Amino acid sequence: MLDLEVVPERSLGNEQWEFTLGMPLAQAVAILQKHCRIIKNVQVLYSEQSPLSHDLILNLTQDGIKLLFDAFNQRLKVIEVYDLTKVKLKYCGVHFNSQAIAPTIEQIDQSFGATHPGVYNSAEQLFHLNFRGLSFSFQLDSWTETPKYEPNFAHGLASLQIPHGATVKRMYIYNGNSLQDTKAPLMPLSCFLGNVYAENVDVLRDGTGPSGLRLRLLTAGCGPGVLADAKMRVFERCVYFGDSCQDVLSTLGSPHKVFYKSEDKMKIHSPSPHKQVPSKCNDYFFNYFTLGVDILFDANTHKVKKFVLHTNYPGHYNFNIYHRCEFKIPLVIKRDSADSQTETCTTYSKWDSIQDLLGHPVEKPVVLHRSSSPNNTNPFGSTFCFGLQRMIFEVMQNNHIASVTLYGPTRPSSQLRTSDLPHLSTQEWCGEEILSTLHHGAWNC
C-alpha cells in the first residue's frame, strides 16, 4: 500500500517520487514506468473521437488514484483519490488515513483545521468540504440522520451540519479555490529538470512556402550557484531551412536523441525507383522531445532539409514520445474572385476545416501503416498523409492532425535545371517523402 504525503494546491507523493500539479504528462508516465513494480495496473483513459472534449486520465486502479491532465496543454490539473482504502495518506507528516485511522470528519478537522462551510450536492448526494487547493467529499446515503440546512448562511450557500463518524469518499488536490473552475497551473520549476520547453512555435514562410520556425522557449534559469533564486526564463529562437548542424546546436542546444535513417521503403513511389542507388551515408534527425520538434539534416551538406511538428494526440502510434508542439502555420488560400488570403492552421485544427478553407478537397492521401516490427500490429490503425504547400499533414482517423512535416525548396543538382526535373503529383511526392520523414525517433522512456 502506498504511503503518500498530501500537499494542498501542489502535489501527492513520497520521498522517491511526486505527482505535482502542472507536471507534463510525459513526466508522470516516466514515474509510473520507473516504479512499475510498485505502481501496477495503470489505465490511460481518453476520448478516441473527441480527445479535446475530455481530460486525459491516468487511472492507478490498484491504488485508487486518478491523475487528470488538461486535454489541451497536457499538464496535470487535478489529483483525485477515489478509494481511500487502497492508500495511506498523511499531511505534514501525520497520517489522517490509514488502516488504523479512518478519515472521518473529526479526523479531517483535527488534521487540517477549520474551513468555510461545506456545500451539499443533492444530485451526487455528496457533501464537499473545501480548503484552498484541497477538497473532501463525504457520502450521505449511509447517514442515519437527515442533514440540517441553513439556507440563508454565507450569502445563500447552504451550511451543513455533518453527523459524527462520516468518512471521506473522495479527495481532490487542485489549483485555486474552486475544483469546478480549476485550471492546470504553469509548469513548476522543479519539473524542468534542465530541459527547454516550447511555449509556442510559429512557422515562418516566404512567397513559395515554409522557410523556418520561430520558437518561444521556456527554461528554468537561476542565479550563480543559488538554487533558491531559480526563475523561469523566456526567449525566442529561429531556425531556418539551410541552417547548418552547428547553427541549430547553438540555437536550440543539444537534441535528446540523434536518429540516423537506415532505409527508405517509399522509394517505390519515385518515378524511377530502379535508378536509385543506395546512399553511402544517411540523413539524420535531431529529436527534440520536449519541443515536440524533429529536424532532418542532409547527410552530405549537414544542413536542415525538413522539420517535423508533433501534436501528441492520444490514440496515435507515437503518443507520449514528444511533448505537444503548439504550432501556428499560415496557409495561403487562393480565391477565384479575390487576392490570396492567409488563414492559420493550429495544433487543434481538424483536417476537414482546412479543406473547407481551401475550398476544395486535397488529392488522395498516402496511407501510412506503422509498426515496431514486421510481426507486430498497430492497435491505433493507419493514418493518412496529405500534401499541401510544401507540407505533409499526417491525419488520424478522428480527423485530428498527428504531425506536420515542413520541407524546404527543392535544390536541383548542378546537372539539372529546375525545368528539367520530373513533375511529381501531390500523391507521388507525398509518398516519396513520407516514410523518410516519419519513420524515426525512439520511445522516450
Q: What is the helix (H) or strand (E) element at residue 234, kind and residue range?
A: strand 226-240
Domain membership of residue 181 (yes or no) is no
Task: Note whether 202 and 53 are same-domain residues.
Answer: no
Domain membership of residue 179 (yes or no) is no
Task: Note whether 232 and 152 are same-domain residues.
Answer: no
Domain around 323: 192-432
Domain membership of residue 352 (yes or no) is yes
Domain membership of residue 414 (yes or no) is yes
Q: State the pairing for strand pair 327-333/197-205.
A: parallel
Taking the model in full, what pTM does it have? 0.86
Task: Note whether 100 and 223 are same-domain residues.
Answer: no
Task: Note whether 381 and 426 are same-domain residues.
Answer: yes
Task: Note whether 426 and 353 are same-domain residues.
Answer: yes
Task: Note whether 338 and 298 are same-domain residues.
Answer: yes
Task: Note whether 344 and 415 are same-domain residues.
Answer: yes
The one-letter amino acid code at 195 reads: N
d(CA 372, CA 323): 20
Task: Note whether 226 and 361 are same-domain residues.
Answer: yes
The CATH number for 161's domain is 2.60.460
Domain stops at, among 114, 144, 174 = 174
Task: Note whether 111 and 227 are same-domain residues.
Answer: no
Task: Note whether 167 and 229 are same-domain residues.
Answer: no
From 76, 75, 73, 78, select the one nearest 348 (Cα to Cα): 73
Domain membership of residue 220 (yes or no) is yes
Residues near 144 by Cβ (< 8 Å), separated by ≥ 6?
Answer: 163
Domain membership of residue 64 (yes or no) is yes
How many Cα atoms within 13 Å fall on the side-chain side of residue 266?
19
Domain membership of residue 231 (yes or no) is yes
Task: Note whether 241 and 119 are same-domain residues.
Answer: no
Domain membership of residue 180 (yes or no) is no
What does each of the 445 residues of the chain score in pLDDT, given as a tens digit? 999 999 999 999 999 999 999 999 999 999 999 999 999 999 999 999 999 999 999 999 999 999 999 999 999 999 999 999 999 999 999 999 999 999 998 899 899 987 777 787 777 778 888 999 999 998 865 544 445 544 434 433 334 566 666 889 999 999 999 999 999 999 999 999 989 999 999 999 988 889 999 999 999 865 555 555 578 899 999 999 999 999 999 999 999 999 998 765 555 655 655 555 666 688 999 999 999 999 999 999 999 999 999 999 999 999 999 999 999 999 988 766 667 788 899 999 999 999 888 877 778 889 998 776 665 677 888 999 999 889 999 999 999 999 999 998 866 543 333 333 333 444 544 555 554 554 454 433 3
Task: Note whether 200 and 146 are same-domain residues.
Answer: no
Q: How many domains does the chain have?
A: 2
